[in-house]
Amino acid sequence: MITIIKIILLPVICALILFFIKFNFYTYPIPLGVFLGITYVISYKKNRFLNLFLNVLFSFIVYFTGYLILLLLGMFLNQLSNLGTVLAFVIAGFFVSPILLFFAYNFLFTFPKTKFSFMVKTISVLFLAIYSFVIFKDGNTEYIKIADKNSFLNPYLLWQPVMLLAIQLILHQKELKALFKTKNR
């Protein structure tokens, strides 16, 4: 039970903070890096400050890389009308960025290479990409402005809690397996 609370609590707190505090373009990646950093700094005995710093740094790198990809894709796909703009947002922000985040954080946490890890990564990326496409498909640009909408339906506010939950599930998969194995006996 404690494992499940530990896994779910971080994304819930992150969602609440993102909902109640308005982050601007330049500060938006901070919660993800700080939440992961603080959570896992406790488990590392050495280089705690370095680990926290790297978590925040990786969060910024992934965020601005995703934004750069959005700009580049937008230049090409924008000519296809509104759908091109939507595809640029979905591909850059909700497909490529989560994959980059998993890749970057694998250096810090060394994700286990299991079917479960692959499944969690795949489901989270597909969920974010499909959900954001459904929200943006009609050219609903109001959600595209990060700071303008504090809604749990906003894909940008949902992105960080979903990724936190995915990383938590991957990192705690042994504990989850043991927990569910004992319940099935």
Please give the DSSP secondary-structure letter assigned to residue 78: G
Q: Count the Cβ atoms, other than its own, within 10 Å of residue 40.
A: 18
Residue from 184, 144, 180 nearest 1 by CA: 180
Phi/psi for 145 (5° steps) reads -80, 110
The answer to whether 123 touches 170, Cβ cutoff 8 Å, is no
How far is residue 18's CA from residue 163's CA, in Å, rounded to a whole number? 14
Burial classification of residue 164, based on how many CB atoms lie within 10 Å of its CB (0-12 exposed, 13-18 middle, 19 or more buried) = buried
CA nearest to 62, candidates 32, 27, 94, 101: 101
Q: How far apart are CA 148 and CA 156, in angstroms?
A: 11
Calculate ∠ Cα 53-147-105, nearest 5°: 30
What is the per-residue pLDDT for 119?
A: 96
The predicted model gives 57-79 an average pLDDT of: 87
Confidence of residue 149 (pLDDT cuts 50, 70, 90): low
Q: Does residue 124 register a pLDDT over 90?
A: yes
Q: How far is CA 26 from CA 110, 113, 131, 161, in A?
A: 28, 33, 24, 18
Burial of 30 (0-12, 13-18, 19+ CB in 10 A): middle
Residue pair 95/129 in contact (Cβ under 8 Å)? The answer is yes
Residue 83 identity: L
Record the pTM. 0.84
Q: Is the pLDDT of residue 144 over 70?
A: no
* 103: pLDDT strictly greater than 70: yes
